[in-house]
Chain A
């Protein structure tokens, strides 16, 4: 009897939302950090964009975390699809495991980094 793959469905939902985030929020972050700030277009003098975002509001911390974590998860899910399309059945499991390890380390690292920069976020609201 066929059975609904609920975990697959939820993971796909997260991937889908991650794609939305990667498409809409990541370009904003890249523009602020990679283009506007180095070219002197960032309007707040004496403070780098990341610090400004974190200092301004707790939502800034959330924005940075969601953007990086969502994009990383979207990336690994898409990487899995690419492995399927390439027909790498044998290497797929090992490469997937490696990819997920990188993503988990990346998400934990960004969470740690943001908490170190803005410890007040834990005492919300």
Chain B
């Protein structure tokens, strides 16, 4: 197989040494089947062992290798080098997150939001296993299925200008996951989740830019989840206005 040479321009930032981030270029030989993550691994193994980045599965499942590739949030394991032939490929850390080192960002805010929406099935009363499963029809599964495909790669947060302006905004992935449980017929946790997604910094901050859905590598549509959550919130608020006792629950 023939080899070309790609120029990879990577953001370097070592807080203990560097005052601010800077770019460093590396020449990487590549074949047609190689991706940006392969190039980073090549650099780490052969050119510069100090380069730091996250990765794990190398197959678009773990969601840990996200970076801005050529200015767009992407999984580096799903970005083929030959697609950038003849151009310098710029690899930067995901925007809107503090950088710990090189391409590694601090995920604390995102992890906190994920836990906040309680991403598990909430039951008012747990049935013992002897009573059997909580059964669900194919139609009931269909209502939330796509939102359960999120791999928590945070590309949607990096693409969201509203999160960039207000980090208190709950954001795309956390809302999509919350909606996944709100729509799950087995879940009984709406009363717990609604105050989280329907507070001021919840879905109402979203201005419908839609980049979250564009960059999602798993075909999840967080913008749709946010819109549907907004409709639920507006309907409940109107119900509580019309029927103050018992409406809007």
Write the residues of chain A forming the contact surface with B, with a CB cutoff of 8 angstroms: 1-10, 12-13, 16, 81-82, 84-85, 87, 89
Contacts and interface: CB of A to CB of B under 8 A. Distances in A.
Interface in B59-89: none
Contacts of A13: 234-235, 237-238
Given A8-B233, A9-B204, A89-B165, 20 more contacts: A2-B199, A2-B202, A3-B199, A4-B198, A4-B237, A5-B198, A6-B248, A8-B200, A9-B198, A9-B233, A9-B234, A9-B236, A10-B238, A12-B233, A13-B235, A16-B231, A16-B234, A82-B207, A84-B165, A85-B161
Nearest to A16: B234
Given A6-B240, A10-B234, A10-B238, A84 B162 contact: yes
Contacts, number: 64
What range describes how many residues of B lie at the interface? 20 to 34
A84 B200 CA distance: 14
B230 interface: yes
Contact of A10 (B205, B209, B231, B237): B237
- The interface residues of chain A, by DSSP majority, are classed as helix
Contacts of A9: 198, 204, 230, 233-234, 236-238
Contact of A4 (B161, B195, B230, B231): B195
Contacts of A81: 207-208
B179 interface: no
Interface in B186-213: 194-196, 198-200, 202, 204-205, 207-209
Nearest to B169: A84
Interface centre among A1, A3, A6 (most CB of B within 10 A): A6
B47 interface: no
8 contacts: A4-B194, A4-B236, A5-B199, A8-B200, A9-B198, A10-B234, A13-B238, A84-B162
Contact of B234 (A1, A12, A82, A89): A12
A7 B207 CA distance: 17
B121 interface: no
Contacts of B111: none
B241 interface: yes
Contacts of B230: 9, 12, 16
A6 B205 CA distance: 14
Nearest to A8: B204
A113 to B, nearest CB: 29
B146 to A, nearest CB: 22
B110 to A, nearest CB: 17
Contacts of B234: 9-10, 12-13, 16
A50 B105 CA distance: 60
